[in-house]
Structure 1
Amino acid sequence: MVTHSASVADAFSLRLTFVLFLTVVVITLFTALLTAPQRDEIGEFYLGNRDMSPLRNGLAMCGDYLSAATLLGSTGLVALTGYDGLLYLGGTVVAWMMVLLLIAEPLRNAGKFTLGDALARRLPLRQRQVRLALAVCTLSVCTLYLVAQLVGSIALMTQFVGEPGPTTRTMVVIIIGTIVTIYAAIGGMPGATFIQVVKAVMLVAGVTVVAVLVLNRFDWNIDGLLASATEGSGLGDEYLQPGLRYGAGPISKIDFFSLQLAIVLGLAALPHVMMRMFAPRRTRVLRASVVWAVGLVGFVCLTAGVLGLGATALVGRDTISGMDHKGDAAVLLLAHELGGEVLTAIVSALAFVTLLAVAAGLMLAAASSVAHDLYGEVIRKGRATETQELGVARIAAVVLGVLSMMFALLAWGTNTATLAFLAFAIAASAILPTLVYSLFWSGFTARGALLSLYGGLVTSVLLVVFSPVVSSTPDSVYPRADFAWFPLQNPGIVSIPAGFLLGWLGSRFGPREEAGVYEDFEVRALVGADQG
């Protein structure tokens, strides 16, 4: 839980932040209404404008992934832990490279609207059972990540006004949650795409401006920046050496590897990111879009490293940790140091917009899974009309929005990073093995898919429940209890191999798929066809 005795910004900065945020929300909501699907066509609601340029698609993909945690959390991690924080940022870029080289093209070629469509084509005999299992995993990942964003909105507000009371917390969650629900329920993919593009442009521009101000302060001398950051850390050379955060012992190092494994592999299976892969009509557009996304995400991660080092150099590590022990206030303190109240307000508004955009993408992915996979294919067995499916998608978005707001208020005090990393671990342990096996292993079967999906989900959740995240440490959810027999905070190093192993076992010792199914699927996945 984030607690502060003082806030980052003064009254003027808070008012300006509110005006900027409100302006962006009004413009994007109005545009979402204008660009919303005008006909009852599920393709338009799920995929939006399929003829966008690679740059716009790449910006939307970048916007789907980069959250407020990147702007605030990653920057703060670099500010407080130096080398270890920079190493953490590298995992994100590696993750996008894997998406580019391994997943994007065959997934787009094999699917239609959702990942469930691709698996149904690969495992036709038990496709409804597989769709149901996939929908359960998708809802688990999206709900956890969405609740993390809403809880993060409270934590972000805390940076300005100090510890909020129950009424303030409730109002913040309801306002943010309602806006996100409108984006997803009314705007669909066109509305979500617009805010993602706006958010990505704002984020790239914002971090560029602050990074330029930091580098200009040190006359564009990287050595000078590193030397000042080392001095500002109060830790000497230890600041730029490995082990400051993840070097306390073997368990700490293994935990860091487990976290990086979940991030690198989990990104390739996040439902809201994967949904973007189906949007481009042509394969070459998708390829170019992912290249743009890799470049943009890499650039933002690079500038986040500069901002973290700049915060330590100009503000000081002790000041940052005194304001927020997790370092989330680092970039706001840096903005105040460089540009006063105005720059602080701009960066703060950017953080709120970033949070909104990611939440909108998550809610749309979850609603699409409910409407298309659960209702359209499992319950109605493919006989639902487009109007019915579209109505269910919008109702699902509203219901998910309300439930997420309730969970966010109940989860106040829970570390948002824990919720997000659990979502990554589930995606990497349950969805990724199923996806990889489906695309590249001819012996994969429906039983293997079910074991991988349900087994990866259950393993991830159980290991977190019996880890220091929930009990046995002062920072645990239940600090006075002690039932943590699993020593790591992130389960990826165990749950990811478990997901792959269960998928292999289920396929080896279960009934085989019909002859020729994988060959037909492989031709479509690897050769593909541009869709009209």
Structure 2
Amino acid sequence: MVTTGAAVVDRFGLQLTVVLFLSVVVVTLFTALLTAPQRDEISEFYLGDRAMTPLRNGLAMCGDYLSAATLLGSTGLVALTGYDGLLYLGGTAVAWMMVLLLIAEPLRNAGKYTLGDTLALRLPRTQRPVRLALAVCTLTITTLYLVAQLVGSVALLTQFTGEPSAATRTLCVVVIGTVVIVYAAIGGMPGATFIQIVKAGMLISGVTVTAVMVLNHFDWNMNALLGAAADNSGTGTRFLEPGLRYGASTTSKLDFLSLQLAIVLGLAALPHVMMRLLAPRQTAVLRSSVVWAMGLVSLVCLAAGILGLGAAAIVGSDTIAETDRKGDAAVLLLAHALGGGVLTALLSCLAFVTLLAVAAGLTLAAASSLAHDLYGEVIRKGRAKETEELAVARLAAAVIGVLGILLALVSWGANTATLAFLAFAIAASAILPTLVYTLFWRRFTAQGALLSLCGGLVGSVLLVVFSPVVSSMPSSLYPDADFAWFPLQNPGIVSIPAGFLLGWLGSVMSRPEVPEIYEDFEVRTLVGAE
């Protein structure tokens, strides 16, 4: 999200956005404090209210998954690249099918608070090294994603003020980061759930109403909308055909496939999404919750596609690119054209709340893994009292939040999409193979889990380091250097198969686990246990 430095929103829009955002923050913070765990029970802090309805759970899942990239980045991608952007949104919506069909029920049945508990149940003899490796992967994924959200807040601020000063950047990141710490450390899962539900409701309402305004602008004639988008895109009918961004060469096609694999497979292994899957008390509620989440995410993706086409048709792709070459300003420019400063302020506030909510979920997931898996089970070997572990979880949330703030200030110019997609790739390459093998393969061993976790993590990071993301291109982190031998910007197409291969290799080369352990585990994944 690197902008040209031109302000998109006028002074009135900025003032109204600040008022709206502060109002939402004050209300949600007050409610989070009221709903915070009142007892020293880690189950309430980690899982929250386990008796929530499927709709509320689905809204929370939707809120956990949808980030500002969906509202700003995806809309801009459609506005600038047309068909290819719509194809990208399709992958975002399809990702939930993987969760519903493969992961959700067996994970909830076998899990307790974190994925580490599931692995410990499956590999009890050597659970501590596996928990440690899993905690490292979880911390890496959540920190990358958290930094992306905090850097994104600066990029969004740029739409209002132009290129911000160092002091303004610091203030923005510190304020957002501090609120996130309060949500996660004090509110726990109940507080995070409330902000996610509020954010999801606002996001669904905001994009749906704006999409209806776009369709109404063209008298509900999709042909008119598509025709105007193509005419004002600067590329004519090519705007509505594949290949404008991802089909120019074989490398770009492979890059798109790699990106889609990371998104579709990575969602099922994102730590904050997996925590949400463990919350419902009954599998029937979980199943309905995931269906609700899938439907709501699909609705938002459909609306985002309409907004992208509307931005190209009404504002023009050239105008969007001149304002922000990444396209992140598209939805704000469209809002200003349709509803003036008021609609622009509403969508801008929505983007800030979206950043805040996703960051809170990530911080809570990281804190839970560090407190429960690393401290409670590895360091204290399961002997920690609940009050002790809860205190560590709150402290860990504060530490993760501060770490995210510092890293965001250091890397404020980084491409937020790259950080987020790397987090997805690591989740799909390290955690997903371990999770799938744990749930469904009898022969899986602890050495297979360690190889899969460590190999997927290291492999993903190394491939990105030696890719055009870091060097060899004008848009790279170090454009003047050239040590990129891996041609793709997303490592998923290589690192995901490598993660599965390493898990298989480590398992067949080590001594099998006791057969009775898997038999008991399999029964639990099928019928569950309270």
TM-score range, shorter chain: over 0.9
> Are positions 1:141 and 2:141 aligned together?
yes
Deviation for aligned residue 1:93: 1.6
1:68 maps to a residue whose letter is A
Q: Measure, in 1, the Cα distance between the counterparts of 2:513 and 2:109.
A: 21
1:182 maps to a residue whose letter is V
Match in the other structure for 2:61: 61
Distance 1:222 1:126, change over 3 A: same
1:328 maps to a residue whose letter is D
CA contact (8 A) 2:229 2:313 kept: yes
- Residue aligned with 2:95, SS: helix
- Residue aligned with 1:424, SS: helix
Equivalences for 1:352-501 in 2 at 5 Å? 352-501=352-501
- State the identity as a percent: 77
TM-score by length of 2: 0.99
Q: Measure, in 2, the Cα distance between the counterparts of 1:63 and 1:138.
A: 19
Equivalences for 1:284-303 in 2 at 5 Å? 284-303=284-303
2:102 maps to a residue whose letter is L
Q: Measure, in 1, the Cα distance between the counterparts of 2:391 and 2:527.
A: 35
Which 5+ residue runs of structure 2 have no aligned equivalent? none
Match in the other structure for 1:277: 277
> Are positions 1:305 and 2:305 aligned together?
yes
Match in the other structure for 2:50: 50
Q: Measure, in 1, the Cα distance between the counterparts of 2:105 and 2:263.
A: 21
Q: Measure, in 2, the Cα distance between the counterparts of 1:3 and 1:42.
A: 43
Provide, for residues 254-291 of structure 1, a one-character-per-residue CA deviation record: whole Å limited to 9, x for no partner.
00000000000000100000100110011100000000
2:39 maps to a residue whose letter is R
Match in the other structure for 2:243: 243
- Residue aligned with 1:245, SS: coil
Q: Measure, in 2, the Cα distance between the counterparts of 1:6 and 1:465.
A: 31
Provide, for residues 33-88 of structure 1, a one-character-per-residue CA deviation record: whole Å limited to 9, x for no partner.
00000110000000000000000000000000000000000000000000000000
CA contact (8 A) 1:139 1:366 kept: yes
- Residue aligned with 2:243, SS: coil
Which segments of structure 1 move beyond 6 Å, counting only runs of 4 or more? none
- The alignment's C-alpha RMSD in Å is 0.6
CA contact (8 A) 2:4 2:325 kept: no
Match in the other structure for 1:204: 204
Deviation for aligned residue 1:5: 4.4
CA contact (8 A) 1:146 1:359 kept: yes
1:254 maps to a residue whose letter is L
Match in the other structure for 1:318: 318
Deviation for aligned residue 1:467: 0.4
Equivalences for 1:166-181 in 2 at 5 Å? 166-181=166-181
- Residue aligned with 1:478, SS: coil
Match in the other structure for 1:523: 523
CA contact (8 A) 1:4 1:159 kept: no
Provide, for residues 307-336 of structure 1, a one-character-per-residue CA deviation record: whole Å limited to 9, x for no partner.
000000000000000000000000000000
Q: Measure, in 1, the Cα distance between the counterparts of 2:35 and 2:413.
A: 37
Provide, for residues 398-419 of structure 1, a one-character-per-residue CA deviation record: whole Å limited to 9, x for no partner.
1111111000011111100000
CA contact (8 A) 1:150 1:176 kept: yes
Q: Measure, in 1, the Cα distance between the counterparts of 2:163 and 2:268.
A: 36
Which 5+ residue runs of structure 1 have no aligned equivalent? none
CA contact (8 A) 2:5 2:158 kept: no
- Residue aligned with 1:51, SS: coil
Provide, for residues 120-151 of structure 1, a one-character-per-residue CA deviation record: whole Å limited to 9, x for no partner.
00111100111000000000000000000000
1:319 maps to a residue whose letter is T
> Are positions 1:343 and 2:343 aligned together?
yes
Equivalences for 1:209-224 in 2 at 5 Å? 209-224=209-224
Q: Measure, in 1, the Cα distance between the counterparts of 2:522 and 2:106.
A: 9
Deviation for aligned residue 1:103: 0.3
Match in the other structure for 1:130: 130
> Are positions 1:188 and 2:184 aligned together?
no
Deviation for aligned residue 1:3: 3.0
